[in-house]
Amino acid sequence: MENLSVDNLLGIKYLNSNDLNLIFKTADNFKEVINRKIKKVPSLRDVTIANLFFENSTRTKLSFELAQKRLSADVVNFSSTGSSVSKGETLIDTVNNIISMKVDMVVMRHPSPGASVFLSKNIDSCIINAGDGTHEHPTQALLDAYSLIEKIGSLNNKNILIVGDIMHSRVALSNIFAYQKLGANVTVCGPKSLIPKDIESLNVSVNTNFVNALKHCDAVNMLRIQNERMSESYFPSVREYVQQYGLNKNILDSLDKKIVVMHPGPINRGVEITSEVADSDQAIILDQVENGVAIRMAIMYLLAAKLK
Amino acid sequence: MKPKKILGSNEISTILNRLSFQLIEDHNSFENIVLVGIQPRGSLLAKRLTLLINNHLKSNDLKVGYLDITFFRDDFRRSEKILKANSTSLDFLIENKTVVLVDDVLFTGRSIRAALNAIQSFGRPLNIKLLTLIDRRFSRELPIQPDYCGTQVDSRLNEKVIVNWKENNDEDSVYLIKNN
């Protein structure tokens, strides 16, 4: 059996559909493992992994660390606050120093788009992108697609809607690539000011009418409004955003069919999605979190097999 | 070398019957015994034996499960090929039970070593026994021997024992082939 076509996980853009299916198939096995009473397997006991988080994260960091520990890898954690980064050390120097301590794999989150691609060209180690600025967040897209397939089966010819801050969201871009590689049609929806100008070049449809767009989809991924990445105001007020693009129970019930509701977290309850919807049986938000560990175990297992 | 047939379907049927009676002879009741087939190749054997034993005893006491050992193998990152996992399904508790590990061929003993580790994720069994259809003598790399054995085969290291089951290959048979 063939392994992945890549040696690093920098973005979904670089994967093919065989890679995606191999990751999903391996994740099935790990999902069974993490539902055992004893959730640990010894596969990566001779692998050391560094988690470098140059930006805040709760879910992703925790999920990666749990995945690593369940694979029996040795883990070191680094966050930029309180490190030598504030003394002016460059990214390559920081990472090379860490790799000199015999680290086999680097999981990195960084606020600059393209940071992990840049790093992969300059250092000799296996790199997993855990989110680079507004660019890609491949493991999130993989767990989103995996959770959705688990719920509705093959995504071939399914219509998937991504709503919200498409411009600042790395989840959106990775999601678009992943769904398209699995044969789905992707539509994005949100205020015009938050939709990138040339998004059609990715073969994505744009629909700014939220309710109309919902009528034509099988699943919707509600993105978070990323206030921390906005240097200016992209919409008049949160209240207006909620009125136009917030998902509530009334809208959901008015649709002809039961669509699946996803959210990458953290949720702004009452903004992009109401509590009632987030906690309803149509939402698979907590399944996404559970599957996140299995997906990350699968990726690290498959990439570790390629380590020299 | 032409593949050499070691066992045909009649012989396999006799062996399976004998193994099932050996298990019955050694255990008064099957309430606290489970058969665990090692995935993928031990599963069908475990399933067959379970059916035979339950038929002989006219009961459904004996339970069968399937254990995948991929993540416990000691050759991860040591071979070119990616180790592909199979599913595990153990729908019962093994705590304080007798677990009979079932595999088709016992060769180096490394799979069984992995299985002994893997089974611990599901509890602490009272004891563990090993049943194999074929025991390739003189090729062990670990101190592991079967408690129940179909037949012993003397083979060279460059040979391979292939077990076919009619569920997958139209016939029950065992062949010895040269490994390229």
User: Which residue has 């082939």 as its token pair?
Assistant: B177
Give B91's pLDDT tier (boundaries 50, 70, 90): confident
Report how far residue A221's alpha carbon sits from residue A133's, in angstroms, rounded to the nearest whole number.
19
d(CA A90, nearest CA chain B) in Å: 32
Q: Flag whether pLDDT at A86 surpasses 80.
A: no
What end-to-end distance do the CA atoms of chain B give, in Å?
A: 11
Smallest CA-to-CA distance from A23 within A303, A261, A274, A289 is with A303
Of A37, A43, A307, the CB nearest to B122: A37
Mean pLDDT, to the nearest integer, of A46-52?
94
Lowest mean pLDDT among A260-274, B75-89, B115-129, B152-166: B75-89
Q: Flag whether pLDDT at A115 surpasses 90.
A: yes
Give B157's pLDDT tier (boundaries 50, 70, 90): confident
Please answer whether residues A33 and A66 qualify as being in contact, where contact means their C-beta atoms are separated by less than 8 angstroms. no
Cα dihedral A29, A40, B92, B69, rounded to 10, equals 60
Report how far residue A171's alpha carbon sits from residue A164's, in angstroms, rounded to the nearest whole number.
11
Best mutation site among B71, B93, B122 for testing chain A: the one with the most A CBs within 10 Å? Answer: B71
Q: Which of A181-190, A238-247, B159-168 has the highest mean pLDDT?
A: A181-190
Give B93's pLDDT tier (boundaries 50, 70, 90): confident
SS3 content of chain B, % helix, strand, coil (to 5): 30, 30, 40
Q: What per-residue string of b and e applies to A284-298 under the rule 16 or more CB within 10 Å gives b?
A: bbebbbbbbbbbbbb
Lowest mean pLDDT among A187-196, A255-264, B80-89: B80-89
pLDDT of residue A95: 87
Q: Does B116 touch chain A (CB under 8 A)?
A: no
Report how far residue B108's alpha carbon sits from residue A111's, in angstroms, rounded to the nearest whole number.
50
Q: Flag whether pLDDT at A83 surpasses 90.
A: no
By three-state DSSP, how is residue A224 classified?
coil
Tell me the per-residue pLDDT of A166-191, one tens digit each, with 9 for 90 and over: 998 999 999 999 999 999 999 999 99
Q: Where are the beta strands (DSSP E) in B70-147?
A: 98-106, 127-136
pLDDT of residue B77: 83
User: Which residue has 């997993």 as its token pair?
Assistant: A128
Pairing relation of β-strands B4-7 and B63-67?
unpaired
The backbone torsions φ and ψ at residue A187, rounded to the nearest 5 degrees and listed phi first, read -120, 140
Q: Flag whether pLDDT at A49 surpasses 90.
A: yes
Q: Flag whether pLDDT at A84 surpasses 80.
A: no
- Where do the structural domains in chain B lie, given as residue ranges? 4-75+82-178
Please answer whether residues A44 and A300 qualify as being in contact, where contact means their C-beta atoms are separated by less than 8 angstroms. yes
Give A2's pLDDT tier (boundaries 50, 70, 90): confident
Task: Cis check for the bond before A42: say yes or no (omega within 30 of 0).
Answer: no
Smallest CA-to-CA distance from A25 within B158, B30, B84, B159 is with B84
Mention every residue, 6+ apart, whose C-beta is less than 8 A from residue A72: A40, A41, A42, A43, A44, A45
Across the interface, whether the CB atoms of B121 and A1 are under 8 A apart is answered: no
Count interface pairs A-B at CB distance under 8 A.
48
Smallest CA-to-CA distance from A144 within A59, A55, A233, A38 is with A59
Tell me the per-residue pLDDT of A88-97, one tens digit each, with 9 for 90 and over: 788 888 888 8
The backbone torsions φ and ψ at residue A67, rounded to the nearest 5 degrees and listed phi first, read -60, -45
Q: Is A13 exposed, middle or buried (0-12, 13-18, 19+ CB in 10 A)?
A: middle
Give B79's pLDDT tier (boundaries 50, 70, 90): confident
Kindly report the length of chain A.
308
Between CA A270 and CA A279, with CA A274 as vertex, the angle to 5 degrees is 135
Report how far residue B113's alpha carbon sits from residue B120's, in angstroms, rounded to the nearest whole number.
12
**Chain-wide mean pLDDT for chain A?**
92
Kindly report the length of chain B.
180
Helix H segments across chain A?
A: 17-34, 59-70, 91-100, 115-122, 138-152, 170-181, 210-215, 238-245, 249-254, 275-278, 285-304
Best mutation site among B79, B82, B87, B120 for testing chain A: the one with the most A CBs within 10 Å? Answer: B82
Report how far residue B116's alpha carbon sits from residue B38's, in angstroms, rounded to the nearest whole number.
11
Closest CA in chain A for residue B70: A43
**What are the angstrom distances between the C-alpha of B52 and each of A20, A256, B48, B75, B97?**
42, 52, 6, 35, 20
Mean pLDDT, to the nearest integer, of A99-107?
92
pLDDT of residue A23: 96
Mean pLDDT, to the nearest integer, of A293-306?
96
Chain B 84-103, CB below 8 Å of chain A: which residues? Answer: 84-88
Mention every residue, 6+ apart, whose C-beta is less than 8 A from residue A142: A12, A20, A23, A24, A178, A295, A299
Q: Has the ipTM of the complex gone over 0.85?
A: no
Smallest CA-to-CA distance from B31 within B54, B49, B55, B47 is with B54
Q: Flag whether pLDDT at A228 surpasses 80.
A: no
B166 versus A85: the higher-pLDDT residue is: B166
Percent of chain A surpassing pLDDT 90: 76
pLDDT of residue A308: 77
pTM of the model: 0.89
**What are the angstrom distances between the C-alpha of A117 and each of A11, A45, A131, A177, A223?**
9, 27, 11, 17, 24
Report how far residue A270's alpha carbon sits from residue A146's, in angstroms, rounded to the nearest whole number.
26
Q: Does B175 touch chain A (CB under 8 A)?
A: no
Report all structural domains of chain A as residue ranges with CATH numbers, in order of start. Answer: 12-136+291-304 (3.40.50.1370), 138-288 (3.40.50.1370)
Of A29, A40, A305, the CB nearest to B76: A305
Pairing relation of β-strands B148-153 and B173-178?
unpaired
Please answer whether residues A301 and A30 qualify as being in contact, where contact means their C-beta atoms are separated by less than 8 angstroms. yes
From chain B, pick out residues whose CB is under 8 angstroms from the CB of A299. none
> What stretch of H or E contains A110?
strand A105-110
Of B77, B88, B122, the CB nearest to A304: B77
d(CA B115, nearest CA chain A) in Å: 12
Structurally, at CATH architecture level, domain B4-75+82-178 sits in 3-Layer(aba) Sandwich (3.40)
Quick one: angle between helices A59-70 and A138-152, nearest 10? Answer: 80
Percent of chain B surpassing pLDDT 90: 74
